[in-house]
Amino acid sequence: MTAMTHPRHRVTRALAQVHGLLDEITDASLWSMGTEEAGAALLEATRAATRVAELEARLATHAAAVGVPEAVGATSVANWWAHATRMTHGEAHRKTKLAGALEDHQPVHDALKTGELLPDQATAIIKAVEDLPDHVPADLVQQAEEHLVGEAAYFDAKALANLGKGLLHVIDPEAADAHHARLLEAEERAAAMATRLTLREDPDGTLRGTFTLPSAQGQMLKKQLLALAAPKHRAAVEGELGERKPSPERLGQAFCEWIERYPADRLPDAGGVSATVVVTIPIDTLHGGLKPGTLDTGAVISPGQARRLACEAGLLPMVLGGKSEVLDLGRRRRLHTRAQRIAIAHRDQHCTTEGCDWPPGMCHVHHDPSWATGGPTDIDHARLLCPRHHARAHDPTYRMTRLPGGKVAFTRRT
């Protein structure tokens, strides 16, 4: 037996009746419902769901007050609720947070109770009101809350959140500008701390990633990609107009074009060479051969892709067997040239210490033997070493041993 089997409280009785009514229409056919009635019914269903959400909030608050979670050994109403309903913990905590806030925001609570306000709108209004400075009088705070509740008839939760940021302009214009600036600065600091980019190479020839950017930089990127994905630009590039609205595929192609078009002279130097991608291409591939090309990151690309990239701005083709710069400068200079560094990076691929895989852009070029002992500045007497192992190469407490295959190892002298 459960409390819902023989309900005593009018709320549980009403819920039992609701389930009974829903059971009657679970399999009801909708084919005879006309356009106007279907639209009205959909709106009423949303309003009913909103009213149920308000009841959920009141019940969650009451469940905490009467000790429902403690009775079963749960640590909170949210955790018990999530476990009992298979709801995600995040959703359960979001609902219980709203339930607790409604007790202090009567205008929002009343609007939610009648179905005039959606739960996400309620959350946006409460946050906007609670973000008001402490010096704002209580009567003005209530006036501001009632103002946003009224605006909810015309704006969704996102728009209400934006309106809320300018709420102080309505109730206290003199303090509004300074407060708004502080809010924006705090938002930008939080966005900067949340900035992330993760990249993952998959074996199917793709690289996947996710990113979080501050709004300003995100809007810049969006605008640039939309320009590259615009129908007129795609028509100029591909010879066809395509769809009017850029699809995810179009935006992905635009991102590739954006990467390829980025000016190489704007890239910072890493390891003595700018972060330009080097495409190594056998000379016969340029003449139509079928040998693949190789990026300096180790990735292999098709002959057609290699030929295309070889003539793109911002990418440096290094043609094996073709005419190139003189790389062996002997003792005429101490530091390796840009061309030498590119060739060494292509040969070594990473730090040449056994077991170290630091990439070329994070490595130093080490004279082997050292410049001080007469080592020349050329390719054959140079190797990539990461900063840690480069320091050991010049540390007398370590011995550097050359291994078969071009690797080295360091051991502490005894």
Band (323; pLDDT cuts 50, 70, 90): very low
State how far the Cα of 108 lies from the Cα of 145, in Å rounded to an integer: 8
- pLDDT surpasses 70 at 175: no
State how far the Cα of 370 lies from the Cα of 393, in Å rounded to an integer: 9
- pLDDT surpasses 90 at 43: yes
Mean pLDDT across 149-153: 93
Judge whether 197 and 208 are in contact, CB under 8 Å: no
> Judging by DSSP bridges, how do beta strands 315-320 and 269-270 pair with one another?
unpaired
Please list the residues that pair with 191 across neighbouring strands. Answer: none
Mean pLDDT across 236-243: 52
Q: Which amino acid is at 228?
A: L
Judge whether 160 and 128 are in contact, CB under 8 Å: yes
State how far the Cα of 258 lies from the Cα of 273, in Å rounded to an integer: 21
Q: What is the pLDDT of residue 150?
A: 92
For residue 116, the SS3 value is coil
Place of tokens 């959909």: 42
**Cβ–Cβ contacts within 10 Å for residue 35, how many?**
7
Pairwise pLDDT comparison (101 vs 314), residue with the higher score: 101
- pLDDT surpasses 90 at 258: no
Give the pLDDT confidence of 265-300 residue by residue, as tens digits: 666 665 555 456 666 766 666 566 667 777 766 677
Pairwise pLDDT comparison (386 vs 240), residue with the higher score: 386
Residues 6+ positions from 202 with CB-CB distance below 8 Å: 208
Q: What is the pLDDT of residue 324?
A: 43
240-274 b/e with 16+ CB inside 10 Å = b?
eeeeeebeeebeebbeebeeeeeeeeeeeeebbbb
For residue 26, the SS3 value is coil
Residues 6+ positions from 78 with CB-CB distance below 8 Å: 89, 92, 93, 95, 96
Q: What is the pLDDT of residue 319?
A: 52
* Angle formed at CA 11 by CA 7 and CA 12, multiple of 5 degrees: 30
- Listed residue (371, 310, 378, 389) closest to 343, CA to CA: 378
Can you read off the two tokens belonging to residue 232? 């007129």
Q: Domains of the chain: which residue ranges?
A: 43-192, 197-261, 268-320, 338-412
Comparing 21-35, 99-113, 165-179, 274-288, the range with the smallest average pLDDT is: 274-288
Q: What is the pLDDT of residue 1?
A: 39
Query: For the chain, what is the mean pLDDT?
Result: 80
Please list the residues that pair with 319 across neighbouring strands. Answer: 281
Q: What is the pLDDT of residue 65?
A: 93
Give the pLDDT confidence of 55-85 residue by residue, as tens digits: 999 999 999 999 999 998 999 999 999 999 9
Q: What is the pLDDT of residue 183?
A: 72
Q: What is the pLDDT of residue 310?
A: 56
